[in-house]
Amino acid sequence: MPRMKAIAAAVQILQREGVRHAFGVPGAAINPFYAALREHGTIDHVLARHVEAAAHMAEGYTRTRAGNIGVCVGTSGPAGTDMITGLYSAMADSIPILCLTGQAPTARLHKEDFQAVDIAAIAGPVTKLATTVLEPAQVPGAFQQAFHLMRSGRPGPVLIDLPFDVQMTEIAFDIDAYEPLPVHKPAASRAQIDKAMDMLAAAERPLIVAGGGIVNADAADLLVELAELLDVPVIPTLMGWGVIPDDHRLMAGMAGLQTAQRYGNANLLASDLVLGIGNRWANRHTGGVDTYTRGRRFIHVDIEPTQIGRIFDPDLGIVSDAKAALRLLVEAARERRDAGRLPDRGAWVGQCAERKRTMLRRTHFDDIPIKPQRVYEEMNRAFGKDTRYVSTIGLSQIAGGQFLHVYRPRHWINAGQAGPLGWTLPAALGACVADPETTVVALSGDYDFQFLIEELAVGAQFNLPYIHVLVNNSYLGLIRQAQRAFDIDYCVQLSFDNVNSPEVGGYGVDHVKVAEGMGCKALRVSEPAEILPALEEAKKLMAQHRVPVVVEIILERVTNISMGTEIDNIVEFEELAARGEDAPTAIGALDLEQMQFLD
Ligand SMILES: Cc1ncc(C[n+]2csc(CCOP(=O)(O)OP(=O)(O)O)c2C)c(N)n1
Ligand SMILES: [Mg+2]
């Protein structure tokens, strides 16, 4: 049996489990890992500028390609604590990432050693497993178990904490004798699926709510096949957005309090049965549970047993991986179709499509300063169906969710539950590493952008080109809007007179200068007619220089974006679209002139 340092065995296992990239920041306690990485030579490393960003890069990397597991690496003490937000975000959205931390030597763990902190205890609630490996010969088993856990059941992150001496100790290890552990995913039975099909058949106005579990299971094609076989409209959740293309005739919009369309909520409220697959009835999707559930029955399919009944008691709960359930649902649907037993859904599908054509918000404003709605209209014009969007939180992300279009799974990459400011930029870099061929467009408000702004230098250093649309209202816009309920506008202003850049006119930070200082390209736009040319120019600059390109769009300072606390009571702040030209890039809006308004 070959003998090697435990950390060398760990690096060989990473390779065997499919890891080709790592994101991190070295430090004394994790240097043995870096030495092993260098010696092994097949895993590329992206040096982050902040350790939190390394965790978000890993998450963007995982989300971009089925089967990917992003790895983030840091030293002991503050590096681990910096990555906690990334672990929380990954845990919340069921995204597997592997976080590796160095640790003080085992003999000194209780001596308040320099940068010794009990990171496994701190990370416990935000990981599927967080462990400090104390026996060198247990290192291979810890990694084997980590990959098994990250891939099994509801996916999620794992942290492995490696004391310095544990990394350095020689153990017997032969990679040829290593096998990844089998992955466990519960699967629906045919009896369960038949019950679901009976309930669907008995409904008059059924809908499918398609969650991120379908993306994780790489089962979007099956979802679309099922919807088409049954002729049932689909409401994707924010995490599932893209599993059915926005322009598919059965795509019925998103429902929810913020990232939703008017027609998505109206369609959900008109339904009498909802089949939820790989979703978790998130509160910004459901709003008040009474409003959401009243008058309709529910089937809930999820891979995680404790998710069934967590939010409300469904009429039928099935614990299953989304792909396994969808395979059987498609099989059962085909049989019923061939036997002529599928109900005709034409009228219901037509009603949903009509709402999608008519219940639109206005995007076409010519105002200067620019209204945010216009930005998304121009983005729809500039960016094709294969664009991969990355965003996190804020009015920018909410309006993006309302107005942008997504056509493919993994093309809307969003930290849905945790919403940690700063996530967008590093997650976009991780997406670029995972798939350099696809155009990545990040969307941030000014505050989100400033949170981890230093990561622009990583994009410049490692030639990770992408376009960052930065909508600048010089405000913590979402929080300013929320403070209306308190009748305050307090601690949410970002404006100041920049003594170096009077041309930014009181908007404070000169993002163009900062971006250029980081080695990136940047453009600033203040008029609606300039947006599209700037986005086109950004594409050219990105191709030419192979660095991130920031397009800063100066917005009006105060715009309230549609939202509410119940899905039947969303507050609209702008006038709605009345003619096709009010919302020229909405799906189906060209037909708007001939629309018959629904009451
Ligand atoms: C770490 C963290 N702190 C605070 C918040 C709360 N928060 C959500 S959005 C927001 C303001 C975002 O401002 P900006 O990025 O400029 O977007 P805008 O709403 O103005 O479009 C804040 C402070 C958060 N999500 N994450
Ligand atoms: Mg802002």
- For the chain, give the mean pLDDT: 97
* pLDDT band per the 50, 70, 90 thresholds, residue 432: very high
Each residue's pLDDT tens digit, 458-472: 999 999 999 999 999
Q: Is 476 a catalytic residue?
A: yes
Each residue's pLDDT tens digit, 312-329: 999 999 999 999 999 999
Each residue's pLDDT tens digit, 526-579: 999 999 999 999 999 999 999 999 999 999 999 999 999 999 999 999 999 999
Write the CB contacts of 285 (distance below 8 Å, at least 6 apart in sequence): 209, 237, 238, 255, 256, 257, 279
- Cα 391 to ligand 1 centre (Å): 12
Q: Is 531 a catalytic residue?
A: no
Each residue's pLDDT tens digit, 46-95: 999 999 999 999 999 999 999 999 999 999 999 999 999 999 999 999 99
What is the number of the ligand 1 atom nearest to the C-alpha of 478?
19
* pLDDT band per the 50, 70, 90 thresholds, residue 591: low
The confidence score (pLDDT) of residue 589 equals 66
Distance of alpha carbon 202 from its chain centroid, rounded?
35
What is the number of the ligand 1 atom nearest to the C-alpha of 472?
16
The confidence score (pLDDT) of residue 597 equals 41
Q: Does residue 86's CB lie within 6 angstroms of at least one atom of ligand 1?
A: no
The pLDDT > 70 percentage for the chain reads 98
Closest CA to 250 of 274, 272, 224, 271: 224
* pLDDT band per the 50, 70, 90 thresholds, residue 595: very low
Distance CA 5, CA 319 (A): 42
Distance CA 73, CA 484 (A): 41
Confidence check: pLDDT of 270 > 90? yes
Q: Which residue has the higher pLDDT, 286 or 591?
A: 286
- Cα 491 to ligand 1 centre (Å): 12
Distance CA 441, CA 428 (A): 8
What is the number of the ligand 1 atom nearest to the C-alpha of 85?
1
Each residue's pLDDT tens digit, 180-237: 999 999 999 999 999 999 999 999 999 999 999 999 999 999 999 999 999 999 999 9
Distance CA 170, CA 5 (A): 4
Q: Which of 398, 402, 448 to mutate to test the pocket of ligand 1 (most atoms within 8 A of CB)?
A: 448
Q: Does residue 400's CB lie within 6 angstroms of at least one atom of ligand 1?
A: no
Which protein residue has the closest C-alpha to ligand 1 atom 4? 421
The confidence score (pLDDT) of residue 411 equals 98
What is the number of the ligand 1 atom nearest to the C-alpha of 449?
15
Q: Is 268 a catalytic residue?
A: no
* pLDDT band per the 50, 70, 90 thresholds, residue 588: confident
Ligand nearest to the CA of 396: 1
Confidence check: pLDDT of 491 > 60? yes
Q: Is 318 a catalytic residue?
A: no
Q: Which of 478, 481, 554, 558 to mutate to test the pocket of ligand 1 (most atoms within 8 A of CB)?
A: 478
Q: How many CB atoms lie within 10 A of CB 16?
A: 16
Q: Does residue 475's CB lie within 6 angstroms of at least one atom of ligand 1?
A: yes
- Cα 480 to ligand 1 centre (Å): 10
Q: Is 587 a catalytic residue?
A: no
Burial of 226 (0-12, 13-18, 19+ CB in 10 A): buried
Q: Are 395 and 559 in contact (CB under 8 A)?
A: yes
Confidence check: pLDDT of 594 > 70? no
Q: Which of 85, 395, 495 to mutate to test the pocket of ligand 1 (most atoms within 8 A of CB)?
A: 395
Q: Are 122 and 115 in contact (CB under 8 A)?
A: no
Q: Does residue 419's CB lie within 6 angstroms of at least one atom of ligand 1?
A: yes
Write the CB contacts of 22 (distance below 8 Å, at least 6 apart in sequence): 14, 37, 43, 44, 45, 46, 71, 72, 73
